Chains A and B, each alone.
Chain A
Amino acid sequence: MRNSFYNYRKLLVLAVCGITCLGAVAYQLHDPNTWYPVRSLFLDVVSPAQRFTADIAGRCREWRESRKDIDRLIQENEKLRQRLVQVETANQGLREAGKEVLNLRQMLDFKRQSRFRLISARVISHDPVNYLQTAIIDKGFRQDVKNSSVVVSPQGLAGRVVSTGSDTSRMVFLTDSQSRVACYVSRSGCRGIVTGTGGRSGLMRYLARGDDVKTGDEILSSGEGGIFQRGIKVGNIISVSQASDGTHLLVAVAFSTDFSHLTDVFVINTLLPGRR
């Protein structure tokens, strides 16, 4: 009996609570501002905790965003780095192409302005030993290259052909110790012979002690000997000194052609008609 009274009491309490809730809901529909002070007080109590949680959540969100930004920046950095490598490689290629274009333009201008009929050729190989200053070019007798043909570069005289094949020829540079070119000083007209020394410069011989030569003078081929045509630039005088016996001058000549980087040359075929 006690249990049944206890259960009935519970049901009564439940019913009272339920009816009270329904009544509260209905009353609030009638007057929405009911419980406003209580709600305000409750919000005042919980708002510091809500503000604190919002602050923490904001910081977490910022941290997450910054991590995303960092990851994105790292990926972007990597992509840009790869792109930079590609661009630098392409740039390098373009620089080389640009040099090539300049070189070819220079050669074309030289060919146009030249009074000779020129056969363009490319140096395909240098001599494997250091004692000889020779090279192989990619034109031979089939391309009308003859033995003893003169070889020039846009900068000046380069050498001469010493043997020809069907499609290749061997040439000797001016720097070879066996090379001899009859030259003259363009300013004063003094004549001499420029010989190679095996190095980068040559020697101009048979200049008398009183000849008017000085550093910087331009040396041109004189055409004597019948091999090298007249008026082709050979180089410039870099030093003038007297021989030990005092009878003649020792003149060092810097060749105008850069033999170490020589790649494109012309073989002189014939003199163009109407030009000297």
Chain B
Amino acid sequence: MRQFQNATDANFLLTKYAVKLFLTFQVLAVIFMQIIIVPYVAVDGIKPDLVLILVVFISLRRGWFQGAMVGLASGLFIDLGTTMPLGTSALSKMLVAVFVGLIESKIFKEHRFTRIALCFIASLIDASIMLLLLKAADLVSISAGMAGNAIISAVDTAFTAGIVGLFHRYRMPLFLSREWKT
């Protein structure tokens, strides 16, 4: 496994900023799709959570901290685009990223089914945290219908993750993986 020790190496610097730029571009593109396009592909009102999928994938590839920072940033943008209190999505995505980052070394993350199952569980955790926060803020009342919607949304997100994983896993440049230490 190659590791760059010399921080002044030009290629190393270029790679470091290219990684950050690519990640930023990814996050903005996913936020744009979630806010602008996903509402039109909803089936019976159930939409996949592309931001959550991105957070899970980045946590799997680059660790819990980077996943948490991506979750924080994207969650803030999502909160700005909705009527939820600012910080709700940010906090839930952050916690999901920490959870995924902590268990990523204990699971066989290379298998597609593992990523799909992880997205399902992450979606349930995300929904639970958000509903608890909103319930604590007295903005919603938790019901069986809402729980059912959360489960269906988790299934939808996991299904979408399976499709996204076909491109994200094999198309991602190697320099974005954690093997290239920055």
Could you tell me if B86 and A28 are in contact, using CB atoms closer than 8 angstroms?
Answer: yes
CB-CB under 8 A from A49, the residues of chain B are: 32, 36
What's the nearest-Cβ distance from chain A to residue B127, in Å?
Answer: 17
CB-CB under 8 A from A46, the residues of chain B are: 32, 35-36, 81
From B77, B87, B98, contact of A22 by CB (8 A): B87
Question: How does the 8 Å CB contact mask read for B65-76 relative to A, with 1 for contact and 0 for none?
Answer: 100100010000
Residue of A nearest to B139 (CB): A29
CB-CB under 8 A from B65, the residues of chain A are: 10, 13-14
How far, in whole Å, are A46 and B78 apart by their CA atoms in the complex?
Answer: 12
CB-CB under 8 A from A38, the residues of chain B are: 80, 86
Could you tell me if A25 and B133 are in contact, using CB atoms closer than 8 angstroms?
Answer: yes
- The tally of CB-CB contacts under 8 A between chains A and B is 62
Among B44-52, B88-96, B158-166, the one that faces the other chain is B88-96
Given known contacts A42-B81, A46-B81, A49-B32, is B86 in contact with A35 (CB within 8 Å)?
yes
How far, in whole Å, are A50 and B90 apart by their CA atoms in the complex?
Answer: 22
How far, in whole Å, are A14 and B40 apart by their CA atoms in the complex?
Answer: 34
Could you tell me if B137 and A29 are in contact, using CB atoms closer than 8 angstroms?
Answer: yes
Could you tell me if A14 and B94 are in contact, using CB atoms closer than 8 angstroms?
Answer: yes
How big is the A interface, by class?
A: 20 to 34
Contact of A20 with B by CB under 8 A = yes
Contact of A90 with B by CB under 8 A = no
CB-CB under 8 A from B91, the residues of chain A are: 18, 21-22, 25
CB-CB under 8 A from A81, the residues of chain B are: none
How big is the B interface, by class?
A: 20 to 34
How far, in whole Å, are A35 and B87 apart by their CA atoms in the complex?
Answer: 11
What's the nearest-Cβ distance from chain A to residue B173, in Å?
Answer: 25
Given known contacts A24-B85, A28-B86, is B35 in contact with A50 (CB within 8 Å)?
yes
What's the nearest-Cβ distance from chain B to residue A57, in Å?
Answer: 5
- Of the A-B pairs whose beta carbons lie under 8 Å apart in the complex, a sample of 10, sorted by A's number, is A14-B68, A17-B90, A21-B91, A23-B87, A25-B87, A25-B91, A28-B87, A29-B137, A34-B86, A43-B80
A sample of 13 more A-B contacts (CB under 8 A), given A29-B85, A29-B138, is A14-B94, A14-B98, A17-B68, A18-B94, A22-B91, A24-B87, A25-B86, A25-B137, A28-B87, A43-B81, A46-B35, A49-B32, A50-B35
B residues touching A (Cβ–Cβ < 8 Å)? Answer: 32, 35-37, 40, 65, 68, 72, 77, 80-81, 85-88, 90-91, 94-95, 98, 133, 137-138
Ranked 5 nearest A-B pairs via Cβ? A21-B87, A24-B87, A21-B91, A42-B80, A28-B85
